[in-house]
A and B are shown apart, each in its own frame.
Chain A
Amino acid sequence: NAGVTQTPKFQVLKTGQSMTLQCAQDMNHNSMYWYRQDPGMGLRLIYYSASEGTTDKGEVPNGYNVSRLNKREFSLRLESAAPSQTSVYFCASREGQGSTDTQYFGPGTRLTVL
């Protein structure tokens, strides 16, 4: 039982390049989330998926797209990376449908955009 896994762990991009961050969970959770965390700040919600087949915008969705491929996998895509997207990206999953149920986080992807 690996919990929530993310790939890659580190990535450096040039401005304008695209990439997809991968996330998978093996806990059979319904909802999944993508957050970004900038230095000295809390987590900000980018997109979430309440269940397989649905996705919704969070607080800071601009410049990102997501795909809920199946119940296990939820990917985040940067179509044209910008330096402002330099951040640590965390994927999370949650079993229940309440906004206060425990979230389980992956180890994060550290992204630098030059």
Chain B
Amino acid sequence: GQSLEQPSEVTAVEGAIVQINCTYQTSGFYGLSWYQQHDGGAPTFLSYNALDGLEETGRFSSFLSRSDSYGYLLLQELQMKDSASYFCALGAGGFKTIFGAGTRLFVKA
């Protein structure tokens, strides 16, 4: 089957850079996505990697290494509003997506 592992919590200071890692196991790879979820809110799409390398979208970047079954989300110029949970999600083939348990990011002033 498929599984993902990510840290449960990360704390960083406003203005800093933080990296949230995600390792995965899968028999067939269809891409790795990242979603953000604020407390009480719905998940919203951030970024997607199908191929190795870095994808940049404003302050957010996502990296993938398929040979290492590893990816990360990089958040730059952290703001207080970035305090949220971040989920990596694995394309599981067909129409299914498997989500990790999430990393809760605390941004301190």
A residues 28-83 near B (Cβ < 8 Å) are: 31, 33, 35, 40-45, 48, 50, 56, 58-59
Instruction: Report the number of A-B residue pairs with Cβ-Cβ less than 8 Å.
Output: 67
A43 to chain B, nearest CB (A): 4
Chain A positions within 8 Å of B95 at CB level: 31, 33, 48, 50, 56, 94, 97, 99
Contact B87 A43 (CB under 8 A): yes
Residues of A within 8 A of B42 (CB): 90, 105-108
Q: Which of B32, B87, B95, B96 has the most CB of A within 10 A?
A: B95
Given contacts A43-B43, A90-B43, A107-B42, contact A98 B91 (CB under 8 A): yes
Residue pair B96, A58 in contact (C-beta under 8 Å): yes
State A36–B30 Cα separation when bound (angstroms). 22
The verdict on B65 contacting chain A, using a C-beta distance below 8 Å, is no
Interface residues on B, range: 20 to 34
- Dominant secondary structure of chain B at its interface with chain A: loop
- CB contact between B99 and one of A44, A48, A98 (< 8 Å): that residue: A44
Q: Give bound CA distance, A97 to B100, whole Å.
A: 21
Size band of the interface chain A makes with B: 20 to 34
Q: Are B30 and A99 in contact (CB under 8 A)?
A: yes
* Contact A45 to B102, CB < 8 A, known contacts A90-B42, A102-B48: no
Report the separation of the CA atoms of residues A42 and B90 in the bound assembly, to the nearest whole angstrom. 12
Q: Are A45 and B43 in contact (CB under 8 A)?
A: no
Residues of A within 8 A of B94 (CB): 50, 99
A residues neighboring B (CB under 8 Å): 31, 33, 35, 40-45, 48, 50, 56, 58-59, 90, 94, 97-100, 102-108
5 A–B pairs (Cβ distance < 8 Å), ordered by A: A43-B43, A59-B98, A97-B95, A99-B31, A99-B93
